[in-house]
Amino acid sequence: MSNTATPMMAQFLEIKAQYPDALLFYRMGDFYEMFFDDAVAAAAALDIALTKRGKHEGKDIAMCGVPQHAAEGYLLTLIRKGFRVAVCDQMESPAEAKKRGYKAVVKREVVRLVTPGTLTEDTLLDARRHNYLAAYAQVRDAGAYAWLDLSTGELHVARCPLVTLGPMLARTGPREVLVVEGEVPPALDEDPAVVTPLGRASFDSEAARTRLETLYGTGSLDGFGQFDRAELAALGALIDYVDITQKGRLPLIRPPVQEHQGAAMQIDAATRRNLELTHALSGGREGSLLTAIDRTVTGAGARLLETRLCAPSTDLETIRGRLDAVQAFVEDRTLSADLREALRQAPDMDRALTRLALDRGGPRDLAAIRNGLRAGERVAHALSGELPDQVAQAARALATLPDCADLLNAALVAEPPLLKRDGGFVAEGVDVDLDEARTLRDEGRGVIASMQAKYAEIAGITALKIKHNNVLGYFIETTATHAEKMLSAPLSDTFIHRQTTANAVRFTTVELSELETRILNAGARTLELELEQFARMREAVLADGAAINTAARALAELDVATGLAELAVDSDWTRPVLDMSRSFAIVGGRHPVVERALRRQGGPEFIPNDCDLSAEGDEAARIVLLTGPNMAGKSTWLRQNAIIALLAQIGAFVPAASAHIGLVDQLFSRVGAADDLARGRSTFMVEMVETAAILNRAGPRALVILDEIGRGTATYDGLSIAWAVMEHLHDVNGARALFATHYHEMTALSGKLDGVSNATVAVREWEGNVVFLHEVREGAADRSYGVQVARLAGLPAAVVERARSVLDILEKGEREQGGKTKTLIDDLPLFAVPAPAPQPAKTESRVESRLADILPDGLSPREALDLIYELKGLMPNETP
């Protein structure tokens, strides 16, 4: 092939130049093809064959492709691996292109830019998770963070100083974040989201205001809130990017919800990770708090529950309203069961509506809207009588069906096909012309069958068939053995020869040609009329988009409330009491994830424990210092109390006999240890960075849990740091806190700081082993039982015995020095000959067994002699 680019390759290069940072899916017939570097990258990412197609500038053109019908699966793989994909489709058929000239290239255009934050297809999304596209903007000293789920149209914005960007990213978990080109905030260096830089013009606040007013068809944004310039810039960037990626087709984006400072409990990334809110430390969702509490039956309900768990409310009225709804369903189990059965039939209306708005929807998206509205109608009928405000609001939202409901019920078949082009989704009786076209199309098939029988009889050939393909249309086919008969008179007068192949001969007739025209026209006309009905139903649905969104939100609210009620009943959870006091009194608290795991494994019952962190006064600190051995359950107790506070503020019942919680506005957790090798941080450095963040930010209404502060360095250094941290929490932060430590010296602080008390996890020793009772009691542990735990872990017996001896020497030295350990290397012979390994237990011989039964003083001389001969006979390897 010549080195000169062909017209088609020239077209590819021209389009590719417009999207240099994306893989170009170039439509060629039934395939999306990729060329040059795109092909090399895609072939490696998708594990598909890399081929070549001619040459360009003296080099082979790399090429690979994927089938158009299976493109979504390949898109998902590429997006997960961080690629962006420009989908370039054919805008006309090859036949239309040829009208402009024999060598004319089919017109192609990029119809969509697929990025991690702009996915809408069900096959590319997790139905139970949001897929957020976010933007961060900074105007002078003000910052703002906006986030949008394009698949549902939900849009939020909050003022966000740069220092709080990290926690916001951890809370929302966006797949893609938009920033001003050349200004990537440091917080994004640690976040897994794809960072997409945009020109400064996309973040212009005045252009953003105009963009938003045009989107919502308003002359002012005052009805949505008072947005500052940074908020407008972040919102405007999102809308501009959606317009770019969707090529001008905007979905039904809901008006922006402005989140005010302090409306949600502040939880940083380390705390979310330590408490395993949505993901376990192993990385998966199994073992997380969300998995343990999720009883929702709809995708929208699951997404709403995760949103609440990631941002617990700090508004007492909101929390109490949610608790009232849960309590209503706890008390009326029949109503709850009826609602859950109806909710199981509710598809994801939000995402179906978005696909329809983007003109990517099909008949099944219309069916999802219809079925969702039907489920809402059944739910509304079940809700009657006196209801809590939140439930009553949901009932009112579902009571009145939007206008499109009647049209969808009448016009759509029960089980429509996936694609519009397949037809058959419009019910009979909706369109007279459509019914007539269908009749002709369907009767034509019957006529073909009768015509085949007639021609077989005329020809006297039973194997004669009437077939169809895209080249010849309808034709008559017989095997080659009948060719001579069919081509000879008198049959040749009726059957007109069209084609001969190796195994068959093909014919037509005047009658068959006329019938084919009628049938083909009827089929095309049928599909044309069905597509008109689809457009009619789609427009009706989009016109009622706001009402459909409201109904979908009401169903999600009820799904969360009934799911939490079922959880409360099945797991014996109780309604918490929340107020603006500084109380924190938990009676019989349990860890929901650990308890669930024990039940599933058939293990022992979880041991409940109390916790009292109630503080006197608005600024007074209240800290419980917890001591006790490893493996006794200290970390579990710390975490379960933080989780109980969090569950209470999402509006859920809690795993406890009772709970009285003064509102918590910040939750901090410093638990566990791990290196951060990528950033060059040791375990101790990570620990200190997280501790510093807590001490610098925690206020009087914060709840702090700290586990083993200072353990990553030398003993006295660690003890000093832990001591100072405790004093700072008490004197400066004034927070409610749980502080677990192995430094028993710190228990003395309870006598010096008014707000500090001691607690310990009870254990017992039995024959050198430690038995964990998992009970938290007042008091302090006298030791850590580390050697016993090491034995349980399976350390070699020699190591355990050596550790015991070293521990005895250390403790003896400490006692002799009046509490100050001063052991020299000579006193602690670590480099002496190691203690001999314990010998295996000796088996008692038969001689020893016999002697054990003998009382020598009672033997006569004769009996003694007989015994000697008896024992001689019991000796091994005896010789005569």
Express each pLDDT in 833-871 by its tens digit: 455 555 555 566 777 777 777 777 777 788 788 878 777
Q: Was 417 annotated as part of a binding site?
A: no
- At residue 764, the pLDDT reads 75
- At residue 736, the pLDDT reads 94
- At residue 788, the pLDDT reads 67
As a whole number of angstroms, the distance between CA 804 and CA 546 comes to: 72
**Burial class for 649, CB neighbours closer than 10 Å (0-12, 13-18, 19+):** buried
Average pLDDT over residues 548-553: 96
732-744 burial, b at 16+ Cβ within 10 Å, e below that, comes to: ebbbbbbbbbbbb
Q: Was 796 annotated as part of a binding site?
A: no
- Interstrand relation of 584-589 and 666-670 (parallel, antiparallel or unpaired): unpaired
Q: Is 256 helix (H, G, I), strand (E, B) or coil?
A: coil
Say if residue 815's pLDDT is above 90.
Answer: no
Average pLDDT over residues 168-179: 95
Please report where in the chains the tokens 């705390």 appear, as a residue.
271
- At residue 505, the pLDDT reads 93
Beta-bridge partners for 132: 149
- At residue 679, the pLDDT reads 52
Is 47 or 805 the better-scoring residue by pLDDT? 47
- Note whether 641 and 705 are within 8 A (CB): yes
- At residue 784, the pLDDT reads 64
Q: Was 633 annotated as part of a binding site?
A: yes
- At residue 777, the pLDDT reads 87
Beta-bridge partners for 587: 658
Is 319 or 710 the better-scoring residue by pLDDT? 319
- Which contacts (CB < 8 Å, 24+ apart) does range 383-388 have? 383/335, 383/339, 387/328, 388/321, 388/324, 388/325, 388/327, 388/328
Q: Was 845 annotated as part of a binding site?
A: no
Residue 762: pLDDT band (50, 70, 90) is confident
Express each pLDDT in 296-325 by its tens digit: 999 999 999 999 999 999 999 999 999 999
As a whole number of angstroms, the distance between CA 355 and CA 770 comes to: 61
Residue 573: pLDDT band (50, 70, 90) is very high
Q: How is the beta sheet containing 194-198 ordered, strand by strand? A: 194-198, 176-180, 132-139, 142-149, 154-159, 257-259
Nearest C-alpha neighbor of 339 from the set 293, 384, 304, 397: 384
- At residue 834, the pLDDT reads 52
Nearest C-alpha neighbor of 652 from the set 736, 661, 639: 661
Question: Is the peptide bond between 185 and the residue preceding it cis, with omega within 30 degrees of 0?
Answer: no
Say if residue 494's pLDDT is above 60.
Answer: yes
- At residue 282, the pLDDT reads 81
Helix (H) or strand (E) run with residue 849 in it: helix 846-852
**Residues in contact with 823: Cβ distance below 8 Å, sequence separation at least 6, in sequence order:** 809, 810, 813
Express each pLDDT in 138-148 by its tens digit: 998 899 999 99
In this structure, of 330-339, 421-430, 520-529, the range with the lowest mean pLDDT score is: 520-529
Select the CATH number that applies to the domain covering 298-402+545-570 from these four: 3.30.465.10, 1.10.1420.10, 3.40.50.1820, 3.90.1150.10: 1.10.1420.10
- Note whether 299 and 128 are within 8 A (CB): yes
Please report where in the chains the tokens 């008006």 appear, as a residue.
255
Say if residue 877's pLDDT is above 60.
Answer: no
CATH code reported for the domain at 577-790:
3.40.50.300
Helix (H) or strand (E) run with residue 159 in it: strand 154-159
**Residues in contact with 517: Cβ distance below 8 Å, sequence separation at least 6, in sequence order:** none
Residue 468: pLDDT band (50, 70, 90) is confident
Nearest C-alpha neighbor of 701 from the set 255, 312, 201: 312
Q: How many CB atoms lie within 10 A of CB 156?
A: 20
Nearest C-alpha neighbor of 612 from the set 624, 600, 595, 630: 624
Residue 714: pLDDT band (50, 70, 90) is low
As a whole number of angstroms, the distance between CA 193 and CA 178 comes to: 10
Domains 298-402+545-570 and 432-536 belong to one CATH topology: yes
N residues, the chain? 880
As a whole number of angstroms, the distance between CA 56 and CA 164 comes to: 51
Name the most confidently modeled range: 89-98, 341-350, 462-471, 669-678: 341-350
**Burial class for 120, CB neighbours closer than 10 Å (0-12, 13-18, 19+):** buried
- At residue 823, the pLDDT reads 45
Tokens of 296: 């929702």
Helix (H) or strand (E) run with residue 785 in it: none
Say if residue 397's pLDDT is above 80.
Answer: yes
Architecture of domain 432-536: Orthogonal Bundle (1.10)
Say if residue 563's pLDDT is above 90.
Answer: yes
* % of the chain beyond a pLDDT of 70: 91
Nearest C-alpha neighbor of 557 from the set 648, 651, 647, 649: 651
Say if residue 674's pLDDT is above 60.
Answer: no
CATH class of 126-261: alpha beta
Whole-prediction pTM: 0.83
Q: How is the beta sheet containing 496-500 ordered, strand by strand? A: 465-469, 473-479, 504-508, 496-500
- Note whether 684 and 606 are within 8 A (CB): no
As a whole number of angstroms, the distance between CA 89 and CA 107 comes to: 9
The whole-chain average pLDDT of the chain stands at 88
Q: Could you tell me the residue ranges of all domains in the chain?
A: 7-114, 126-261, 298-402+545-570, 432-536, 577-790, 843-880
**Residues in contact with 294: Cβ distance below 8 Å, sequence separation at least 6, in sequence order:** 128, 302, 305, 563
As a whole number of angstroms, the distance between CA 769 and CA 787 comes to: 10
As a whole number of angstroms, the distance between CA 78 and CA 74 comes to: 6
Handedness of CA 841, 847, 848, 850 (dihedral sign): positive
Residue 261: pLDDT band (50, 70, 90) is confident
**Residues in contact with 632: Cβ distance below 8 Å, sequence separation at least 6, in sequence order:** 761, 762, 763, 772, 773, 774
Is 197 or 283 the better-scoring residue by pLDDT? 197
- At residue 878, the pLDDT reads 45
**Residues in contact with 515: Cβ distance below 8 Å, sequence separation at least 6, in sequence order:** 444, 447, 448, 451, 474
- At residue 651, the pLDDT reads 97
Architecture of domain 7-114: 3-Layer(aba) Sandwich (3.40)
Separation of CA 793 from chain center: 35
Express each pLDDT in 67-117 by its tens digit: 998 898 899 999 988 899 999 999 988 888 888 887 789 999 999 999 999
Is 876 or 184 the better-scoring residue by pLDDT? 184
Q: Was 688 annotated as part of a binding site?
A: no
Say if residue 387's pLDDT is above 80.
Answer: yes
* % of the chain beyond a pLDDT of 90: 58
Q: Was 247 annotated as part of a binding site?
A: no
As a whole number of angstroms, the distance between CA 142 and CA 223 comes to: 22
- At residue 357, the pLDDT reads 94
- Note whether 591 and 642 are within 8 A (CB): no
As a whole number of angstroms, the distance between CA 118 and CA 245 comes to: 8
